[in-house]
Amino acid sequence: MNLKDKKILITGASKGIGRATAIALAKEGCSVAINFKSDTKAAQEVLDECNRYSKGNILVRADVSNDKEVSEMCQEVKQEFSHLDILVNNAGIFDENDNSINVEAFENVFRNNFLSAVMVTKHSLPLMQEGKIVNVSSIHGRLGYGRPSAAAYSAFKAALENYTKNLAKDLAPKILVNAVAPGRVATPMWGNPDIKEQEELGQVHLIRRMIQPEEIADAIIFLIKNDAMCGEVLTIDGGMGLVTLG
């Protein structure tokens, strides 16, 4: 798929992986709808950066865990773009109170890390004749387990991978659906770690460093450009998933 002039919606694009992906897609010549929830200043900076590389980029504020706001966001995208070629379901959260039995954390993470992707997909599909969807999962979902202090996070990333495959079966060949499963990426989700903290956090990877958001953006663009992958989950974890039996 050639990305020039393609219309893209990316959720959670004011920071981290979403930000890097929005900018990388603008560099490819796409018009990007930059979704965010609360950080208008950061989102505006992403828009300004995207506008250096491509035309027609827009900000679309919406809480993607809220169906009404998602519906309104997609109406706005329809008005501005008329259609969508690509959707990247990236928005997600980590709940500091996550543990194996915290039902509130499970509900919070369920809405923000899983149901959000289903709702955005539901309201985006009427705008898509053909194209690509990429879901942002996690190595925590990939392995079939995460860690007890991220029990809800792991469970709903695993659900997102399962959903990715069923959606791929449902929508192929017109729309190809895949996912990425990153390891530890240096983003605000980790509290903007400085170089020393990044070094420490990166030790769980065989590459002995954290992954940069641009490296996940590269993988997302690879999946978007590739026309043969369907229902695949691409792991970019610096070898983290291989460490278990080490």
Ligand X SMILES: NC(=O)c1ccc[n+]([C@@H]2O[C@H](COP(=O)([O-])OP(=O)(O)OC[C@H]3O[C@@H](n4cnc5c(N)ncnc54)[C@H](OP(=O)(O)O)[C@@H]3O)[C@@H](O)[C@H]2O)c1
Active site residues: 153
- How far is C-alpha 234 from the geometric centre of its chain's CA atoms? 13
Nearest to ligand X of 2, 10 (CB atom): 10
Q: How far is the CB of 26 from ligand X (least distance, A)?
A: 16
Straight-line distance from the first to the last Cα atom of the chain, in angstroms, rounded to the nearest whole number: 40
With H, G, I as helix, E, B as strand and everything else as coil, classify residue 2.
coil
The pair phi, psi for residue 27, each rounded to 5°, is -60, -25
Q: How far is the CB of 2 from ligand X (least distance, A)?
A: 26
Name residues contacting ligand X, limited to 54-73 (CB under 6 A). 63-65
Is the bond preceding residue 213 a cis peptide, omega within 30 degrees?
no
> For the window 103-132, what string marks contact with ligand X as x by the rule CB under 6 A?
---------x---x----------------
> Rounded to an integer, what distance in angstroms lies between the CA atom of residue 189 and that of residue 158?
19
Choose which of 98, 184, 217, 234 interacts with ligand X (CB under 6 A): 184
Q: How far is the CB of 190 from ligand X (least distance, A)?
A: 6
Choose which of 16, 146, 202, 238 interacts with ligand X (CB under 6 A): 16
Where do runs of H (alpha helix) occur along the chain? 16-27, 40-51, 67-81, 103-110, 116-124, 139-142, 151-171, 195-201, 213-225
Q: How far is the CB of 174 from ligand X (least distance, A)?
A: 25
Name residues contacting ligand X, limited to 78-97 (CB under 6 A). 90-93
Those residues with Cβ within 8 angstroms of residue 224's Cβ, 6 or more apart along the chain or in another chain: 1, 3, 86, 132, 134
> For the window 35-54, what string marks contact with ligand X as x by the rule CB under 6 A?
xxxxx---------------
Choose which of 185, 217, 220, 234 interacts with ligand X (CB under 6 A): 185
Nearest to ligand X of 5, 146 (CB atom): 146
The pair phi, psi for residue 13, each rounded to 5°, is -105, 10
Q: How far is the CB of 133 from ligand X (least distance, A)?
A: 14
The interface region with ligand X, picked from 15-23, 98-106, 223-231, 238-246 by CB under 6 A, is: 15-23
> Rounded to an integer, what distance in angstroms lies between the CA atom of residue 68 and that of residue 65?
9
Asked if 64 and 12 count as a contact pair (C-beta separation under 8 A), the reply is yes
Binding site for ligand X (CB under 6 A): 11-18, 35-39, 63-65, 90-93, 112, 116, 136, 138, 182, 184-185, 187-190
